[in-house]
Structures are given as structure tokens and as C-alpha cells.
Structure 1
Amino acid sequence: MTEPVLVFVNERAVRVPPGATAEDAVAAMEPALAERLRAGAAYLTDGRGIRLPPGEAVHAGTIVRHGARPMVTPELIARLPKAELHTHLDGCLRPATMLELARPAKVELPAKDAASLGRYMVANDARNLEDYLKRFDITVALLQTPEAIERVAYEMVEDAAKDHLRYLEVRYCPHLSTHGGLTMDEVVAAEARGFRRGEAEFGVKTGIINCSLRHYTPERSVEVAECSVRCKPLGVVA
């Protein structure tokens, strides 16, 4: 009768039949590890750290080390610290907040409950860019008071913290919120108050990016740029 071969897997002694492979040795030690190896979620090396093919034969005294490949999963990504450099104030309103802001603003919404409103705002049915941007007509209409702007800015930071963001840059055209009588400087100041409160409470650093729009006149775009310079102390970064 042929004697089994003594090998070592992760420093544990394992006896396998002559002619067994490195994968066989891993399976003899712990079948679940062999399953991960076959699924591509793990790899093998020899005692020197050199990659070892799973099908390579082992001999008496062979050292096999089993290592796990990094598994990138949605759960892992959610836990990792992140930076968000391109997000829009008027594109990040919570559906529940929209419902609350719509009543005093006298804005008619396309849905009466948060779940339905959230599905509508995803815009999966948009046929072109113009169709997609129609959703922003709704959110902009809700951002015409300092209180609404500050609240949405604060909630953006809170939501960012839940996603483990450490830095958040938010884009918005301040002129969009001047239809109710606010100046662009007042719009930016309201944003800044919400962001500062969020920073203090949730530890997420924020920056404000003022945007012009492609259909604006050069003169209007200059006004946005001048507002950005004046409001730099409030956290405007671009």
C-alpha cells in the first residue's frame, strides 16, 4: 500500500495521496478554501511566495500557502472612505423632503408619496437630455427660499456621511434660485450654512462649485463668476 505524502498548507500538516495536486492538498485541509480557489476568489503560492498553479503536483514537504484575492463587493465599496467631486444640489433632494417643501412652495408634484416620487425622479424613461432635465424643473422650483436651500444642503452632507464620504463637492447654478427674490450671494450663503452644519455634525468636508448654464448670455455667466469670487470665504472652490 502506498504511503500518503505529508505536505503543509498554511503551516498545517496535511496527508494526501501520491500524485495529489496543490488544490487537492487545500481541499484535504478545508474544502471551503478549495471552493474559493476554484471560484477564482483565492490563489496559491509556494513557501517562497511564488505563485503555484492549483494543478501542480505536490511532494513530501511541499509548502502551499492559500491567499484570498481582494473581493470587491458593494458592501466593501460602501464601507470605504470616498470623495464625491461631481454631484448637483438640485439633483439630490430626498423624495420625502420634496413632498414637505412642495406644500408651502405651492409646487404640484407628479406623485403623492415618497416611493412613487423617487421612482419618477430616476428618469429611466428619458428619451434625450432635454427630457431628462425636465426633472430638474421640479427640484429647482423647490429651492427658492433660504430655508429650503439650507435644508437640502444639510441633508446632502448627512446622506454623504452614510455612504462614508469624506469629501463632497456640490455643483449648483445660484441664479436658478433667484426667481423668488433671492440674490445669488444669498443663495450661496444658504448653501454654505447647510454645508457647515453638516460638516460640524457628520465630519464630511464640503466645497461649493458655482455653475453657469450653456444657454446663459456671457454677461450672466460673468455675474455667476463674480458671485463665486465674492463668496469664496463661504466655501466656494470653483
Structure 2
Amino acid sequence: MTTGTCDSDQIDDFLANRLTVDQQRNFEQHLDRCDVCCEELQKRTADIRLWNDARNFLSSTELAVTDEQPGGIRLGDDCSASVSSAVDFALRLDFLNPTDDPHMLGRFAGYEVSGVIGCGGMGIVLKGFDASLNRYAAIKVLAPHYATSGAARQRFAREAQAAAAVVHDNVIAIHGVSEFNNLPYLIMQYVKGQSLQKRIDQHGPLSVPEILRIAMQTARGLAAAHDQGLVHRDIKPA
């Protein structure tokens, strides 16, 4: 398959990890430009049972979030008060281990998880507390329904390694990448605050100087990524 051609069989081979290295690279390049194949890939990795199970689980689960957390650190506006927003992504939190802290959702890889920072088609970002360092971290976990795909796992690891090479004040630092309960994850610097989208929703349009300040910071971060050969194709205020 060329990078410009949609091929249903190629998606099956990608999910089954049957592609050669060159074929996988070509297909991933095609995914970067083809929304149709991206949507089809997501449909095939989440069957109707998974969607129904996720909807039932999420509709009956509330995040146990309080204002005050260990070490006197207060939660910012980045964590949602419920996980209902994750229904569209068919992401479940039952991969978390139990915790004896009533203020936490569960445990993951030694972190006490206090909330969900965000979620997308490929995974979920959790807010986790590291008791040994008395600080929070952002934990990006590959979605469980992608973890069975060797190609998806390899891509997740490659992207983490590429992003870790970018060292810049306007780029979130990556502290490590590993696997827990058969789920690949990476540990990122936690930055307290709210998303640009949430700020605009709450307070309306920004002033011109503020727009320029944010745009310049974004451009500097992207330039640093480009210097390392990394192209970010999904820049958005959320």
C-alpha cells in the first residue's frame, strides 16, 4: 500500500502486527494524513461490547477528588470532577489497582491517582501523586484496547523517546517510560493550571497581548520539537 491509498486489509494487518517495518512506517505516515483510516482504526479497536461496558462503568463512577491532597498540594482546574467526559473515548478506569486512600481513584505504577487530566483516541492522561518525592506527575497511559496491538505499543514507545529528546521551557518534560499491568505508560512533568480552552470558555476571548504571548510560547515549543525531527500534528487549546 502506498501512503496515499486507503486499504481496509492494511488496517487488519496493522492491528495484528503483521506488517513489515517499512509497511508499518508507510501506514503510520498515511494515518497522519487520513482521518477516514484513523476513524476506522478506532472503530475496529473498540467493539460494541467495549463501548457498552465503558458507558455503564463511567456512568456509575465518580472521581473521588477533594480540594486538599497529600503534602498540602491543592488540585488545579485540570482534573475533571467526573469521568463522564471519557465515554466517547471508551476508556475505563478499571485498570487501576485498589487504594486505601478514600481521596484517590486508585493506584497505578506506584502513583496514587487523584484525577483525569484528559483523554483522547489513543489513551488517557492521569494525575498521579508520587509519595516518595511528594509531588504530582502526569501519567499518559495507552488505552487498554490498543495495548493488544504490537504496532500501537511500538509507536507509543517511539513517540515517547522522540518527545523525551526535546528539552525546552515550553515543552512538557518526560521523565520516564515503562509498562505496568501490561499497559505502556510515560511519566511527564505535571503543570498545575487549566487548559487554554477552559480559560476561554470561562472568561471569554483573550486580549491581543495575551494571544501573542501564548502564540509565541507555542511557536518556540514547536520549533524545539522540529529541531529534534518531531512533528506535532494535533495542536489545540484543549
Q: TM-score range by the shorter chain?
A: under 0.3
Q: Which has the higher helix share?
A: 1
| TM, length-normalised to structure 1 | 0.26
TM-score of the superposition, structure 2-length normalised? 0.26
